[in-house]
Structures are given as C-alpha cells and as structure tokens.
Structure 1
Amino acid sequence: MITLKEENQFKVAVVQAGSEVMDKKKGVNKAVRLIDEASQEGAKIIVFPEAFIPAYPRGMSFGTVVGSRSEEGRKDFLQYWKNSITVPSTETEEIGRAAKKAKAYVIIGVIEKDREPSNGTLYCTALFFGPDGGLLGKHRKLKPTGSERLIWGEGDGSTLPVFDTPYGRIGALICWENYMPLARAAMYDKGVQIYITPTADARDTWFSTVRHVALEGRCFVLSSNQYSNKDMYPAYISSREEFKDLPHELSRGGSCIVDPLGEFVVDPVFGKEKILYANIDLNKIAEAQFDFDVVGHYARPDVFQLTVNEQEQKSTIWKK
C-alpha cells in the first residue's frame, strides 16, 4: 500500500544522452543501462529525449531538395527505417523488462514503424511503460516541424493519453507540439500533473517555453534533450559530407526540470551526457493552483469550448 507521503513525494530522472545513431540494438542496450542507473538512485519516473532510438537525425538532408531526392539519400532513409521499431516488438519488450526491474514509469522517444496499412511511414513517438513492464500506450507527434516532415508522418488525436499513476497524472507532448496552444489545452483538460516534453530544441527560447507550460498548466515539466556530436554518427551516411560546415557539437543538451510556478528545480545542463534528478512534491501543484487553475476556477467554459477528435484516423482505402 502506498502512503499519502509516498504518493505525493518521489524522485524523477531526466536522461540527457546521445543516441546510438542508426543502431536500434545498441540504442535499446543504452536505454536499458540508463534505466538501471536511474533506478539505483530511486527514480520512480524516468524520461528520455525525443527520438532516442534510433536518432534525431540532426544535420542529415536525406539527399532532399525541393523537387528531387538522391539515391544516396534514399539509402540513408533505408538505414533509418531499418533501425526504427515497431510497437509492440522485441525492442519494446526489452525496455519493458528494464522498467519492471527498475519498478519505474519510463517514457522514451522512439521512431516508430507502423504495421498498418503500410510499414513505410515513420512516426516520432513517445512510449509509456509501467513499473510492471507493460506498454501503457504511446503518443505520436501530431505535427513534425520543418524538414522533419520529409521523414515522419503525422499522428492523430487517438494518441493523446494522460495516465493516472500513484505519482500523478503523466502525459507528454513532443518538442514544438508545445507551441500548439490547443494541444497544451488538451493535456491540461485531462489533468496532467507530470508533463513530459521530450525535445530536440536546445535554444535559449526553449527554456521560456517549458517554464511557461509549467506556469500555465500548474504542473511539473520534465524536459529531456539529447547531447550529441558528429562522432556519434556512422561514417557510411551520405550526410557526412554535409557535416563539414556544422559545429562538432550538434545538440548541446539543455534538459531541465521545472516546478508548477515556472521555476527551475534543476537548471538546464549543457555540454555533456548526464541524468538529472529531482524530488517532486505533488502538493506544490495544489499550492500553485491557489491563484490560477487553468481548467478550474480560471476557466471560462461559458466563453471558450475545447473539442478534441480522439478517433484513430485511417486511410479510406484501408479496410481491416
């Protein structure tokens, strides 16, 4: 039986680490190792960055310019596709076993291959695992940003879960989805308390975003980004030539943890792989909601209405 104190106070871990680029087996192994490391510190919620397996392919063009694609770029995409994962799969089972061993909730960014109707489309996905090792569900990024649209499909409203756990209600939006006001509103409307923001954005403006989300939603925000450099990318990819003009450090990190009044619990960390830890007290949410509750006493349902289509969207040519 979990006591009130245990329910309201617990430790979280935010993983800042680089991917094993284009190698899902090594990526899963690294994730398992980091889950175990975080569990040794007593973390009950463990968060990984966006697209941790097999990579956020920063700097790669996949041989694409407007109007044409190169054969070399298609081969790069093939490697990316081969090392993405289906859900569920042996890879998700392995991560689930690590979550079970850790007795923790694990949220991890992956690139997902869908089985239906075609497995050619990839999605940027956050997977949620429970402390029993089970795959609780997933969230697919609703709108890939900029050049991400060349390689990822769009999610729909059927994957906008918020999970009720002994450690608060947990949900996630990925990277620039957090600039979509109605997507945030959907999370708030579901009572999110531990708001996960896996990201690939390491700019200073991102920290204004996560602080605003925490303050607006009166929730804890766990923001996880990769630390990556050019040495992490395999030599065979054609984009290696394109990397010549890029700095060695491709993503400086910037993972952080923010409280429900928008203050840093853990300041952004730069320039290295590191696991960030913080002790969370859910009572801080009620204290913060004293003067602002976005879906409570500060809501105006007589003026504003939110409609969310949570039905799975399928192509009309696809019949089960």
Structure 2
Amino acid sequence: MKEGQLRVAVVQAAPILFDKLSSLTQIASWTKDAAAKGAKLVVFPEVFISGYPRGLTFGTRVGSRSTEGRQDWARYWESAIDIPGEDTAILGEIAREAGVYLVIGVVERDQEFSRGTLFNSILYMGPDGSVLGKHRKLVPTGAERLLWGQGDGSTLTVIDTPFGRIGGLICWENYMPLARMAMYAKGIDILITPTADARDTWQATLQHIGCEGRCFVISSNQFVTKESYPVDLACYGDISQDSDILSRGGSAIVGPLGGYVTGPLFDQEGMIIADLDLSLVTQSRFDFDATGHYSRPDVFQLIVNNQKQDILRTI
C-alpha cells in the first residue's frame, strides 16, 4: 500500500437481535477477516450491539404502553453495554489482536444517573485496545425516541489518528446542517455514518456530505432478515407481515469530491474493502473549504455547546 493510504473495511451484517454474545462473536470474526485483508480501520453499523429493532412497537400506542412491550424493552436494556465496562474490555482485546481502529454502533446504558436510559452511540476503540471515545446520537429519529435518550455536545468526538482525523454522526444526524458543520470545524478527514436507512435518498446524502465536507464518508448499514429476530419476543408479531428482508443494506464509501470509492452494497451480507488516498482530502479543498476560505465567519457564526449536561445541575 502506498504512503498516505488507508485500507478500510466496512461490515454489512446483523447480529441476533438482543443477543450480545451474537454481536461480540460476529465482531471478532469480521474484524479478524478484515485485518487479514490488511484493513487498519474497521467500521460496523448503527447499534450493532445488540441490533436495531426495526419494525417492533414495544407495545406502544400514543397514550399507552403494554406490559409485554416493557418486558421486551427490558430485554433490550440487558443486551446493551456500559462504556467503559466488561464488554469494552472484550472489544479492546479484539481491536488489539487485530491491530485496528474499531468503530462500532452500540446501545449504551447510562452509568451515571438512573441506569434507566439507553443511548444510540458510536464507540471508538484503538489498536492498543483502549477506548478512544464515544458519540451519543443527538436526536433519536421518530419512534426511536422512546428507546434512546438524547446525547449532548460533549460527545461530538473526533479522534486523531496517524492517517487523519476520524469522527462520526449517526444516521439522520447527518441531516442536521449544524451538526455537520460542527464536525467539519473539528477538522474531520473521515466522517463515519453508521445508519439504518436503506433508501436511495441516503446515498444522495452520503455524496452530498463528501462534496460539502471535502472528506471521506464511510457508511455502514445492516443487512437484516427475519431470521435474526428471536421468535420468543412478545412483540415478534409486529413483523409477521413484513418481507423476509427487513433492511437491504446500502453500505458505501464516498470520496471528498462526492464520488463513490466503492458501493453501495445491497441485498446481501458482506464486507467492503477499499484503499483511501488521504491526500485527496487536501486536494479537494483547493476550491472549497467549508470552515476555511469558503466559510465567511464575518457573516455566519456557529456556537456549539460542548459541555456535558449534568442533570444534577438542573434541579
């Protein structure tokens, strides 16, 4: 591989829903395979630990929740992880043995207050096995709001690596113009966008962000079938009339001028491998730099509250 290049692996798969062991086993297997192919950055989809519960209602209607739905949510809570914790130690060992940066979508339990809140998070593990950081989704989308709490500006995380600055926004956070601008202002070179959106419009979003941010965009989605859902879920009947393929994927990598490096991958489980030439990031900013010569700070200003929001300070 040439100097200044980075080999990336993007995993498009799904664990058994609510099954943490399935998630960890798959992460170990896919990461080992990616490392054997020379990858130094391995990316997994949104909430890969322990799955995106597409189609499930958790017994919810406007104005009421069912006992059975609460039981399913408690099962979801049990399959979540603490950051840091025993599960991040396992993930750290996977990253260390493979010698890779590992970026994984996870369901994270709140450890600081009630432990009754979950977050949709990105977890960053270093090749030395350490937890490098995390990002909590700022606004869960639609019915996701009943599952996950809102993150704050303290986890708009960007990681310095030997090959450039990496960070991420989750799924529809990437439709938030100011969130994107905040990441651009942090000097992002590679924006990672774990998602559950398999529509064609998501592909247009990836290309727009690559062109707007003059950065590489790495999007990892799950390929999900009904077989990955435990049939003993109280809400399993919610998906009984759905097609066997619940998410067709669409993982892709886009370059800093908006063109595809590779992808999208649809209708199958798999792994995308690509070599990124990081010098293209600098080249692309010759005529457009969103936070540099094209920013006009005399006209526009962005204020970001990056302070951790401590509930105990608000009561």
Q: Structure 1 length normalisation: TM-score?
A: 0.96
Deviations 1:126-185 (A, max 9, x none): 000111110001000000000000110000001011111111100000000000000000
Asked if the contact 1:12–1:43 (Cα under 8 Å) also holds between the matched residues in 2, the reply is: yes
* Greater Cα offset, 275-284 or 235-244: 235-244
1:220 corresponding residue in structure 2: 216
1:193 and 2:189 aligned: yes
1:287 and 2:279 aligned: no
Unaligned 5+ runs, structure 1: none
Which amino acid in structure 2 is aligned with residue 244 of structure 1? S
Q: Number of paired residues?
A: 315
Inter-partner Cα distance in structure 1 for 2:314 and 2:174: 31
Asked if the contact 2:16–2:230 (Cα under 8 Å) also holds between the matched residues in 1, the reply is: no
2:38 corresponding residue in structure 1: 42
1:64 corresponding residue in structure 2: 60
3-state SS, counterpart of residue 277 of structure 1: strand
Show the 5 A alignment for 1:293-312.
293-312=289-308
Asked if the contact 1:21–1:232 (Cα under 8 Å) also holds between the matched residues in 2, the reply is: yes
Asked if the contact 1:59–1:239 (Cα under 8 Å) also holds between the matched residues in 2, the reply is: no
Q: How far apart are residue 317 of structure 1 and its match?
A: 6.6
Asked if the contact 2:83–2:108 (Cα under 8 Å) also holds between the matched residues in 1, the reply is: yes
3-state SS, counterpart of residue 312 of structure 2: coil
3-state SS, counterpart of residue 94 of structure 1: helix
Inter-partner Cα distance in structure 2 for 1:235 and 1:135: 34
Asked if the contact 1:16–1:274 (Cα under 8 Å) also holds between the matched residues in 2, the reply is: yes
Structure 1 residue runs of 4 or more that deviate by more than 2 Å after TM superposition: 316-319
3-state SS, counterpart of residue 296 of structure 1: coil
1:258 and 2:254 aligned: yes
* Identity between Structure 1 and Structure 2 (%): 54
Show the 5 A alignment for 1:158-237.
158-237=154-233
Q: Structure 2 length normalisation: TM-score?
A: 0.98
Q: How far apart are residue 318 of structure 1 and its match?
A: 8.3
3-state SS, counterpart of residue 108 of structure 1: strand
1:156 and 2:152 aligned: yes
* Greater Cα offset, 21-30 or 173-182: 21-30
1:124 and 2:120 aligned: yes
Which amino acid in structure 2 is aligned with residue 148 of structure 1? E
Inter-partner Cα distance in structure 1 for 2:170 and 2:279: 26
1:14 and 2:10 aligned: yes
Q: How far apart are residue 20 of structure 1 and its match?
A: 2.2
1:30 corresponding residue in structure 2: 26
1:82 corresponding residue in structure 2: 78
Inter-partner Cα distance in structure 2 for 1:285 and 1:88: 33
3-state SS, counterpart of residue 56 of structure 1: coil
Inter-partner Cα distance in structure 1 for 2:226 and 2:16: 12
**105, 108, 112: which one pairs with 1:109?**
105
Asked if the contact 1:50–1:224 (Cα under 8 Å) also holds between the matched residues in 2, the reply is: yes
